[in-house]
C-alpha cells in the first residue's frame, strides 16, 4: 500500500505537486463562510475548544481523531461515488484509534490535563486565531511557529487545493506523532485576497505572514500581487493595532514593491531595526519555509520587510 497520504503518516510531496501559480482573481469554487461568526474553528483546533473535552478525560487524544473524522465525513459528503471507500476508511480509523488508546493511555492522560490547562487559560471566551500565514505553501513556517507559540492559534491559507491537502495531512501526521503538540496550527483552502474578512473579525490578527509570494512580473499582472496598496487596507482591517506584518521574497523587484506599498500606506509603519533583530520570528522568515530553504541552498538573496499596524497619522488620513 502506498503511504503518501496514508492516515496519520507524513504525506509525500510528490503526490501533491501543483502548478506554482494559481489565479487569485478567478471565481472561487470552494465554500467560504458568510462571516467570521459562521466559521467553525473547532474542527481545526479541537484541543482548544471545550466541547471536545467535556465528555471524558480520555477524549483528549480522540480530539485528534475528531479532526480527522470530520474531514473524512466531509470527504464522504463531497464524494458520493466513493462513499464505500470512505466508510471502509472510517472503520480503519476507528480500529487504529482503539489500538492507539491502549498504547498511549498515560500519554493521553497527560495530554488531557494539558488541554484542560489550556482551556482554563482561555476561560469562557472562545479561542481565536491570531496568526495567519497567507499563501502558506507546504506549511514550513506554521510547523516552526507552532512550538514557539504553543498557546496561539495560527492558520495557513493556501489557494492551491493539492498543496493545502498536503499541509492538512502533514498536520494530522504531526499531531499523531507528537501527542499534545501542533494542536494550534491548521490550514484553510481559500483565497485570502478576496475572503480574508469572511474569516477574521476586525483587529483579530496579531501577525500576518507573506512569505515568498508570487512575483507576477508583468505589469498587467501586478493587480494579482498579494501586497498592494488596496489590499493592505483589508489586511490593516483584520489586524490588531501593534500587529506585525512580515513579508519576504527572493525577488528584488517584488521586495521593493512590497516595501514601497507598505511605506506608502498610512496604517503601516516599519518596525525599527533593533526591534526586528530582537524578534525571533524574523529569523524564521528566511529559513522556515520550503521556498526559503530552496533560496538558501542556491545562495540567493532575500529581501524582507517587517511593518507594524498603527493608527492613521493625521496627515495621511
Partner 1 sequence: MNMEDDEGHDGFAAEKTVTPALLALHPFSKFVVVSVGSQLRVFNLLEKCAVDSEDINSQSCHVDAIKTITFSKDGGLFASAGDDKHVKLWDTDTWRCLRTVVATKKISASSFSSDGKWLLYADKFGVVYAISTEYVKDPLAGPADPGQPVSLLAHCCSIITSLKCSADGRYIITADRDFKIRISIFPKNPLMGAHEIEGFCLGHTSFVSCVAVVNNNLTSQFLVSGGGDGTVRLWEVETATLLDTVDVYEKITIANSDVDNTAVQLPAITCIAVSNNASLVAVGLESLDGVIILGLDIKSKRLRFLQKFLLEDHYCPTSIQFDRNGWLWLVAGAAQRTEAGEEKATSWVKVVSISSGDAILLESIDPASLPGGTLLLEALDGTDSDVKKALALADAANMAVKEQLSKKKYTNEHRELRKRLRNDKKLQKGM
Residues with a catalytic annotation lie at: 214
**Contacts of 297 by beta carbon, 8 Å cutoff, 6+ apart:** none
Kindly state whether residue 73 participates in binding partner 1, applying the rule CB under 8 A. no
Helix, strand, coil content of the chain in percent (nearest 5):
50, 15, 35
DSSP designation for 188: E
Burial of 159 (0-12, 13-18, 19+ CB in 10 A): buried
Residue 305 beta carbon to partner 1: minimum distance, rounded to whole angstroms: 18
- Looking at the DSSP assignment, which residues form a beta bridge with residue 154? 131, 185
The nearer residue to partner 1, 130 or 309, going by C-beta atoms, is 309
Q: Which stretch binds partner 1 (CB under 8 A): 157-165, 209-217, 251-259, 271-279?
A: 157-165
| 135, 161 Cβ separation under 8 angstroms | no
**Binding characters for partner 1, 17-36, by CB under 8 A (x = yes):** x-----xxxxx-x----xxx
The nearer residue to partner 1, 109 or 128, going by C-beta atoms, is 128
Kindly state whether residue 197 participates in binding partner 1, applying the rule CB under 8 A. yes
| 90, 72 Cβ separation under 8 angstroms | yes
Q: Which of 10, 50, 70, 89 binds partner 1 (CB under 8 A)?
A: 89
**Contacts of 203 by beta carbon, 8 Å cutoff, 6+ apart:** 237, 238, 239, 240, 241
> In this structure, how many other beta carbons lie within 10 angstroms of the beta carbon of residue 123?
8
Q: Which stretch binds partner 1 (CB under 8 A): 4-12, 95-103, 178-186, 278-286?
A: 4-12
How many residues would you count in the chain?
317
Distance from C-alpha of 23 to C-alpha of 178, rounded to nearest angstrom: 36
Considering only CA atoms, which of 219, 213, 229 is closest in space to residue 263? 229
Residue 79 beta carbon to partner 1: minimum distance, rounded to whole angstroms: 4
The nearer residue to partner 1, 78 or 102, going by C-beta atoms, is 78
Q: Which of 9, 101, 181, 198 binds partner 1 (CB under 8 A)?
A: 198
Starting at the edge strand that comes first in sequence, how are the strands of the sheet with 185-189 ordered?
A: 185-189, 153-158, 129-134, 205-211, 239-249, 303-309, 268-270
Q: Which stretch binds partner 1 (CB under 8 A): 78-86, 104-112, 181-189, 275-283?
A: 78-86
Residue 159 assigned to a binding site: yes
Kindly state whether residue 223 participates in binding partner 1, applying the rule CB under 8 A. yes
Residue 135 assigned to a binding site: yes
Q: How many residues bind partner 1 (CB under 8 A)?
A: 53
| 129, 151 Cβ separation under 8 angstroms | no
- Looking at the DSSP assignment, which residues form a beta bridge with residue 307? 245, 270
Kindly state whether residue 15 participates in binding partner 1, applying the rule CB under 8 A. yes
The nearer residue to partner 1, 22 or 276, going by C-beta atoms, is 22
> In this structure, how many other beta carbons lie within 10 angstroms of the beta carbon of residue 250?
19
Q: Which residues, 253 to 312, sit near partner 1 by CB under 8 A?
A: 265-267, 312
The nearer residue to partner 1, 115 or 236, going by C-beta atoms, is 236
Q: How is residue 87 written as a grid cell? A: 466508510
Kindly state whether residue 70 participates in binding partner 1, applying the rule CB under 8 A. no
Residue 59 assigned to a binding site: no
The nearer residue to partner 1, 2 or 103, going by C-beta atoms, is 2
Residues of the shown chain interacting with partner 1 in the complex, contacts defined by CB under 8 A: 1-2, 4-6, 11, 14-17, 23-27, 29, 34-36, 77-82, 85, 89, 161-162, 165-166, 193-195, 197-198, 202, 223, 228-234, 236-237, 265-267, 312, 316-317
Amino acid at each position: 500500500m502506498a503511504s503518501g497520504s496514508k492516515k496519520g503518516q507524513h504525506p509525500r510531496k510528490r503526490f501533491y505537486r501543483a502548478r506554482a501559480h494559481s489565479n487569485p482573481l478567478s471565481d472561487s469554487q470552494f465554500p467560504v463562510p458568510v462571516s467570521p461568526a459562521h466559521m467553525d474553528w473547532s474542527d481545526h483546533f479541537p484541543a482548544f475548544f471545550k466541547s471536545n473535552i467535556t465528555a471524558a478525560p480520555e477524549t483528549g487524544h480522540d480530539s485528534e481523531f475528531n479532526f480527522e473524522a470530520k474531514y473524512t465525513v466531509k470527504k464522504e459528503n463531497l464524494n458520493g461515488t466513493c462513499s464505500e471507500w470512505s466508510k471502509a476508511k472510517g472503520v480503519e480509523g476507528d480500529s487504529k484509534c482503539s489500538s492507539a488508546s491502549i498504547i498511549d493511555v498515560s500519554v493521553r492522560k497527560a495530554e488531557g490535563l494539558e488541554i484542560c490547562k489550556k482551556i482554563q487559560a482561555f476561560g469562557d471566551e472562545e479561542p481565536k486565531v491570531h496568526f495567519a500565514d497567507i499563501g502558506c505553501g507546504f506549511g514550513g513556517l506554521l510547523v516552526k511557529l507552532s512550538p514557539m507559540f504553543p498557546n496561539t492559534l495560527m492558520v495557513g491559507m493556501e489557494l492551491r487545493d493539492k498543496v493545502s491537502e498536503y499541509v492538512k495531512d502533514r498536520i494530522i501526521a504531526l499531531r499523531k506523532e507528537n501527542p499534545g503538540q501542533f494542536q494550534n496550527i491548521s490550514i484553510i483552502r481559500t483565497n485570502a485576497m478576496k475572503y480574508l474578512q469572511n474569516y477574521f473579525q476586525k483587529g483579530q490578527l496579531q501577525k500576518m505572514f507573506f512569505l515568498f509570494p508570487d512575483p507576477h512580473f508583468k505589469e498587467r499582472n501586478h493587480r494579482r500581487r498579494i501586497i498592494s496598496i488596496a489590499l493592505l487596507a483589508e489586511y490593516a482591517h483584520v489586524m490588531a493595532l501593534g500587529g506585525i506584518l512580515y513579508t519576504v521574497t527572493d525577488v528584488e523587484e517584488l521586495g521593493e514593491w512590497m516595501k514601497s506599498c507598505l511605506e506608502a500606506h498610512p496604517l503601516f509603519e516599519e518596525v525599527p531595526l533593533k526591534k526586528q533583530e530582537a524578534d525571533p520570528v524574523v529569523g524564521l522568515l528566511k529559513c522556515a519555509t520550503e521556498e526559503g530553504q530552496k533560496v538558501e541552498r542556491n545562495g540567493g538573496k532575500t529581501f524582507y520587510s517587517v511593518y507594524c499596524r498603527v493608527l492613521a497619522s493625521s496627515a495621511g488620513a
